[in-house]
Amino acid sequence: MKDVRLTASTILRVFYFCLFFSVGAFQFLNLYYGQIGFSQREIGILFAVGPFMMLVGQPFWGYVSDRWDAPKWVLGILLSGSALTALGFLLTDRFSLYLVLNVFYWFFQSAINPIIDSTALKLLPDKNQYGSIRMWGALGYALSVVIVGWLLDVVGLFSLFIIHACLLIFTLAIGLQLPIKRGNEIKFDWKEATQLFKSKPYVAFLVFNFLLQLTVSINNSFYGLYLKELGVGVTMVGVALLIKSILEVPFFGLSNRLITRFSFRFLFALGAFVYALRWLILGISTATSLLIISQVLLSLSFSLLSFTSVLFVDRIMPDHYKSTGQTLYWATSMGISGVVGNVLAAWFLNNYSMGEMYRWITAMALLAGLIIWFSLGREESKAHRKKTTKEMKM
């Protein structure tokens, strides 16, 4: 009988598809909170837990994965811990207990993405394949929003947690097939790890992502409300969000061509410019058709920066700190920026109109692009001078 074994890239495709299918299913959580009677203030507090826990969970699990060289073992804990905690949501309707459950859920859930990204790059023979592999996650998310949304209408919102937990367990079963052998315990030198922050390209990259994700966080909080304020129905708001999810698929598919033809510096700056163009359209136009169609820009910028950032971190990190580097990137861009972004968004809306707020974040996105362009430009110039000097001595 012929022995049929799946390649690492095939397993990763299925893993990303299932993982983001489960993430898409959990996007309806705010509707469930409203159904059981939580106020807008209470819902806001519960959703603020995620970014805070990213600051703790992501660096912690990145350290554990690097310290014991056991990414598969860590992914198993994260996926099973997330699934069990999700089922716990069904056991209560008390706000205080939901707060505790959210703390535990996000402690596990928040680190899954950076750990699997780091693992994928170790397994892929050509790291430039990462975008085409990650594309399957975008496809899973887009399908989940439609399929799970329909299923919840039929069965009821309470089934959200059962669906989410089952999908996570299935993802775990797929992850166990990844061809990773646990290595030996690695000496993790904290003093050496802190040297990561002396790397000017890495620090510039973190500042760039922090500023850019601030603008994304502000938009995520108020884009739907802005469309409703302009008279757009709930169905069309859903269509706008679906457009973004679906169009991420082909953009991730183009990643291999882009990453081999252009520099990180160019792709980062391009992503920032596209984000700025998107925010500018929202800031100066009230034509709802244009506001919805321009979601294509959000799909392009999100996809472009997602695969470029993961590859950049992998490229500049030492081998035994790659998971730590990825989790610090995620904690900065999704954790800190998420917390600050929510606070900043509230301040903006207390002092400016929605349109003015979008014009402000247009300037922030352009600033982020300038920072990364000039910072990496200096590093490229230094590298070129060193190479030229070396060649002259030969």
The set of residues, in sequence order, having a beta carbon less than 8 Å from that of 224 and lying 6+ positions away, is 237, 241
Q: Is the domain of 145 the same as that of 226?
A: no
Contact 62, 327 (CB under 8 A): yes
Q: Is the domain of 24 the same as that of 96?
A: yes
Q: Is 181 left (phi over 0), alpha (psi -120 to 50) or beta?
A: beta
Mean pLDDT of the chain: 84
Q: What is the domain count for the chain?
A: 2
Which residue is listed with tokens 């500042």?
Answer: 207
What Cα–Cα distance (Å) separates residue 174 from each residue in 73, 217, 223, 237? Answer: 13, 31, 35, 34
pLDDT of residue 195: 66
Q: Is the domain of 171 the same as that of 201?
A: no
Of 179, 209, 229, at which residue does a domain stop?
179
Which residue is listed with tokens 């859930």?
Answer: 109
Structure confidence by residue, pLDDT tens digits, 44-63: 788 888 888 988 888 899 88
Answer yes or no: is 118 within a domain: yes
What CATH number is given to the structural domain containing 343?
1.20.1250.20
Answer yes or no: is 394 within a domain: no
What Cα–Cα distance (Å) separates residue 289 from each residue in 149, 227, 231, 277, 359? Answer: 24, 10, 12, 16, 19
Answer yes or no: is 191 within a domain: no
Q: Is the domain of 244 the same as that of 315?
A: yes
Q: Is the domain of 168 the same as that of 208?
A: no
Rounded to an integer, what distance in angstroms lies between the CA atom of residue 219 and that of residue 242? Answer: 16
Of 179, 210, 245, at which residue does a domain stop?
179
Of 179, 211, 232, at which residue does a domain stop?
179
Which of 362, 333, 388 lies closest to 58 in space, CA to CA? Answer: 333
Q: Is the domain of 25 the same as that of 145?
A: yes
Q: Is the domain of 370 the same as that of 233?
A: yes
Q: Is the domain of 140 the same as that of 201?
A: no
Local structure of 188: helix, strand or coil: coil
Answer yes or no: is 187 within a domain: no
Structure confidence by residue, pLDDT tens digits, 280-293: 999 998 887 887 78
| Residue 176 dihedral angles phi and psi, to the nearest 5° | -65, -15
Determine the structural domain holding residue 206 and report its residue range. 196-387
Tens place of pLDDT for every residue, the chain, 394 residues? 343 457 899 999 999 999 999 998 887 887 788 888 888 778 878 888 888 898 888 889 988 887 777 888 999 999 999 999 999 999 998 999 999 999 999 999 999 999 999 899 989 888 888 998 999 999 999 888 888 888 888 888 889 999 999 999 999 999 999 988 654 444 545 555 566 777 889 999 999 999 999 999 888 777 766 776 777 765 666 677 677 788 888 888 888 889 889 999 999 999 999 999 999 999 998 887 887 788 889 889 999 999 999 999 999 888 777 877 888 888 888 888 888 887 787 788 778 888 898 999 999 999 999 999 999 987 655 543 444 344 334 4
Q: Is the domain of 245 the same as that of 314?
A: yes
Q: Is the domain of 214 the same as that of 296?
A: yes
Look up residue 250 and give its amino acid.
P
Contact 358, 282 (CB under 8 A): yes
Local structure of 312: helix, strand or coil: helix
Q: Is the domain of 158 the same as that of 302?
A: no
pLDDT of residue 377: 84
Answer yes or no: is 110 within a domain: yes
Answer yes or no: is 185 within a domain: no
Q: Is the domain of 16 the same as that of 152?
A: yes
Answer yes or no: is 392 within a domain: no
| Residue 352 dihedral angles phi and psi, to the nearest 5° | -135, 165
Answer yes or no: is 269 within a domain: yes
